[in-house]
Structure formats: C-alpha cells, structure tokens
Amino acid sequence: MTDPGQLWDHPNPHILRTRVTARDIDGLNHTNNAVYVKWCEQVAWSHSVALGLDLQRYRQLDRAMAITHSEYHYLQASREGEEVTIGTWIMDWDRKLSMTRRFQVIRVDDGATLLRASMRFTCIELSTGKPRRLPREFIAGYGPAVLSEQSQMAGK
C-alpha cells in the first residue's frame, strides 16, 4: 500500500476514498470513464460542503458554481475491488466570476495516478441560470482554499 500523500501533484488536496465496485465496471472489464467524472463531481461537492457551501447555502444565496468546461486525461485503468483516492484543489480564480479545480485519482495499492482532470466553474444565479458575480460568502468560503502560486510551484 502506497501513501498517496507523497504522490499528489499539489499540496493539501481535499480527498475522498472509494473502492471500485462491480457497478463501476464496463464491457471492457475496467472502470467506466463516466465513473471518474462522477468521482470528480463527488469530491468537488465534498470540498464545497467542507468549506461551508452546500446546496442549501447555494439556494439561500441564489448562486451556484456551474461547470462550464471539463477536461479528463485517463492515464491507467482501475478494476473491481481496487481502492482509489480522489483529490481536488482550487487552483485559480478571478474573485469575480470563475474558478478552476484540478483533480487527481490515485490507486492506493501501487500509487499510480489513474486520472488527471480539470473543471472550470462559473458563478450563476440559480433563479435565471445567468452568470453573476461571486457573492462575498463564496469569496469567504472558497478563497482560503485557493492554492497560491508559491504552493502550486512547490507541488510540481
């Protein structure tokens, strides 16, 4: 078993751990690509909740962070029974409208990185679906979690 703490692309990820189940496997006998997308969404939500910005808070503020672009690089396959750790970081934001998250999926047994991904989010008004400035509650919640340029360089 490898300690993923030394394998992350960047320091201090917010992480979730899961085990690949039979339901995750596709016709090629490996984890379906859509499952990785689901894991990335789950760890992003978990991170938001940990920062005090859950769905209820989004609704109260009539704001949400909506995915506007995503990119996935599938590097290796995972199979049923394998344990994986999914990490996320908020890499940058403009403090006005948008932010970028990065993701990394590591297989616990051998420390192999299975996936690297990124998602660009834009703040929207829930009632209209239109882009809106980040409310101060989002700046206060997400702001401390944004990696500084210095810590990004240390992770490379």
pLDDT at 62: 98
The residue that leads in pLDDT, 7 or 6, is: 7
Average confidence score pLDDT of the chain? 93
Q: Cα-flanking dihedrals φ and ψ of residue 144, to 5°?
A: -65, -20
Do residues 53 and 141 make contact, with C-beta atoms less than 8 angstroms apart? Answer: yes
Above 70 in pLDDT, residue 102?
Answer: yes
Check whether 99 has a pLDDT greater than 80: yes
In the prediction, which pLDDT does 6 show?
81
- Our count of domains for the chain comes to 1
The pLDDT of residue 150 is 44
Domain that holds residue 51: 4-154
Could you write out the DSSP letters of every residue in the chain? ---GGGT-SSSS-EEEEEE--GGGB-TTSSB-HHHHHHHHHHHHHHHHHHTT--HHHHHHHTEEEEEEEEEEEE-S---TT-EEEEEEEEEEE-SSSEEEEEEEEEETTT--EEEEEEEEEEEEETTT--B-PPPHHHHHHHGGGBPPHHHHHHT-
Type of residue found at 74? Y
Lowest mean pLDDT among 37-41, 111-115, 148-152: 148-152
> What does the block give as tokens for 40?
């990335």
Query: How far is Cα 95 from Cα 76, in angstroms, rounded to an integer?
Result: 35
For the cut 70, the answer to whether the pLDDT of residue 94 exceeds it is yes
Say if CB 73 and CB 63 are below 8 A apart: no
> For the domain that residue 38 is a member of, what is the CATH number?
3.10.129.10
